[in-house]
Structure 1
Amino acid sequence: MAEIIGVIERLWRYPVKSTGGERLDSVEVDERGLAGDRLYAVRDADGKLGSGKNTRRFRRMDGLLRLSARLGHRIDGPELFDPLGRPVADPAAFLRAYLQREDVELAREDAVSHFDQLPVSVLTTATLDWVREAAPFTVVDERRFRPNILLRTPPGTPPFVEDGWFGREGQGGTGARLAFVRSSERCAMTGAPQPGLPHAPEILKAIVHAHDGRLDALAEVAAPGRLSVGDELALH
């Protein structure tokens, strides 16, 4: 029997990996994830993608989180905004000057996935409220954790309720089904500064101490569909 676990309060898409995203009223969900999410990234001459960390696929490029991007209804690429929220006329030229690297460009995803882990991240208000209590002297909102879906949970829902979803499917909107797999392993980006949010390393320390550094529910897309703010999400 289906269990209603919450209502979609906000939807987020991040057209350019590791930059700020855009809030949506509704969005199509396909096999890759939310349409247009992380479809672009800052890529260097070695093919590595701009990120908050260094790995086999990613290159740490400080400052990306101070930028933001919007896809809207554009089909020719995202609109990039500088740290003051002003649109950038020439993204490649701006990024090279801003990052002080001559080898970077704004690139569309090809054979190398732009996702760190799985394509869809869901975070509950119950868990977000716990973070606020655990780090009371800084500004906390969902942008620090970059979820695609912020789910409003009923009063009394315990934090980290997302852990109980793994191995099950959530259905919402028009046909969309998400197969929950595991939680994200959080890094220093949770406390990195971005517009309106100061540097706050205590956030990651609290999550590591209480929950092994894990936060949210990551999902694969089990069936395409459409999600909208206000939709109920039911767990099967």
Structure 2
Amino acid sequence: MAVTALYRYPVKSMLGERLERCRIDERGVPGDRAYALVDVETGTVATAKVPRRWGALLGFSARCVGEPNGEPPPVEITFPDGSVHHSDDEDIDAALSAAIGREVRLTATPPEGAAFEEVWPDIDGLAPEAVIAGTRVRDEDTGEPVSRFDLAAMAPQPAFFDLAVLHVITTATLRRLRELAPGATFDERRYRPNVVLDGGAADGGADFVENGWVGREIAFAGGATATVSIPTMRCVMTTLAQGDLPRDPDTLRIVAKHNRVEIPGLGTWACAGAYADVTSPGELAVGAPYQVR
């Protein structure tokens, strides 16, 4: 079993960059979610989890300029029109605001009480009804409820992660989803993982192998270890058009139909992949072996 892909997303909700190797530590992949846009009007951290307001972010891509060394690295941002801007440009906020159609500021420092919003599309089984009702702050024009959550609930703070520092998904899970709906576009990029792992047969042929990894340790050949904390709850963002991938609601509907997972204390959620905490720093490389123990 080996690492098949590595990804970093320097600006939250923008397309990221594929890596051949990287180092991970207690804060995840250096440079990952180093920046985010903050809505000037509301103070909310922008995320494509609310597509009508922020889905356009997936038309941008970002990459680190040089390797991060502990500080937020300079980032190059390619806009939907192909123009290239940089995080340290004096007019970057104005350029982003004009392109998105809403006043924003690019920041590497989460605001105090940082939170994000998430819309709940009309798909059965995404999340517990009690959670949706208890976090609901408004409705979209479509009637879809919108919830508000604190950022980085399971990560060292301050940070721009939704929940945890490392997101892992296996080729086995993606393969199973394609078997369940051959006409849907189950591309790994939709799920915005940091690490894609080849695996499946060694895990007993389970449909969604990461479900059984909670509490177990992933040991990478480069010395890094990560302990799996919970399955990854999926959201509307996986369905959106991004890069060369079309909009495809089935990529979420099938997960909600076939892999609802009971998460202790949190209820039952539609899941694919897993979150993990980095327990020992080290190197990751595409093609390098790993073990789950």
TM superposition score normalised by structure 2: 0.72
Is the alpha carbon distance of 1:84 and 1:151 closer, same or farther for their aligned partners in structure 2, counting shifts above 3 Å?
farther
Partner of 1:198: 246
- Aligned CA-pair RMSD: 2.0
Residue type of the alignment partner of 1:40: Y
**Which 10-residue stretch deviates more, 146-155 or 76-85?**
76-85
Partner of 2:61: 68
**Separation (CA, whole Å) in 1 of partners of 2:67 and 2:108:** 14
Residue type of the alignment partner of 1:109: T
Partner of 1:106: 106
Query: Which of 82, 87, 91 pairs up with 2:84?
Result: 87
> Would you say the 8 A contact 2:231–2:274 is kept in 1?
yes
Written as runs of structure 1 = structure 2, the 5 A alignment for 1:204-219 is: 204-212=252-260, 213-219=270-276
Question: Cα offset for 1:220?
Answer: 0.5
> Would you say the 8 A contact 2:37–2:107 is kept in 1?
yes
Partner of 1:117: 163
Q: Does 1:168 align with 2:216?
A: yes
Q: Partner of 2:253: helix, strand, or coil?
A: helix
Residue type of the alignment partner of 2:76: E
**Separation (CA, whole Å) in 2 of partners of 1:96 and 1:119:** 28
Is the alpha carbon distance of 1:49 and 1:224 closer, same or farther for their aligned partners in structure 2, counting shifts above 3 Å?
same
> Would you say the 8 A contact 1:83–1:195 is kept in 2?
no
Q: Does 1:78 align with 2:75?
A: yes
Larger radius of gyration: 2
**Separation (CA, whole Å) in 2 of partners of 1:149 and 1:74:** 18
Question: Cα offset for 1:109?
Answer: 3.4
> Would you say the 8 A contact 2:200–2:206 is kept in 1?
no
**Which 10-residue stretch deviates more, 156-165 or 171-180?**
156-165
Residue type of the alignment partner of 2:94: A
Q: Does 1:229 align with 2:225?
A: no
Question: Cα offset for 1:158?
Answer: 3.4
Partner of 2:147: none
Unaligned runs of 5+ in 1: 1-5
Q: Partner of 1:159: helix, strand, or coil?
A: coil
Written as runs of structure 1 = structure 2, the 5 A alignment for 1:22-101 is: 22-45=17-40, 46-53=42-49, 61-73=54-66, 76-83=73-80, 85-88=82-85, 90=89, 91-101=92-102
Unaligned runs of 5+ in 2: 111-156, 261-269
Runs of 4+ in 1 over 6 A off after TM superposition: none
Is the alpha carbon distance of 1:206 and 1:179 closer, same or farther for their aligned partners in structure 2, counting shifts above 3 Å?
same
Q: Partner of 2:43: helix, strand, or coil?
A: coil
> Would you say the 8 A contact 1:68–1:85 is kept in 2?
no
Question: Cα offset for 1:41?
Answer: 0.6
Question: Cα offset for 1:88?
Answer: 2.7
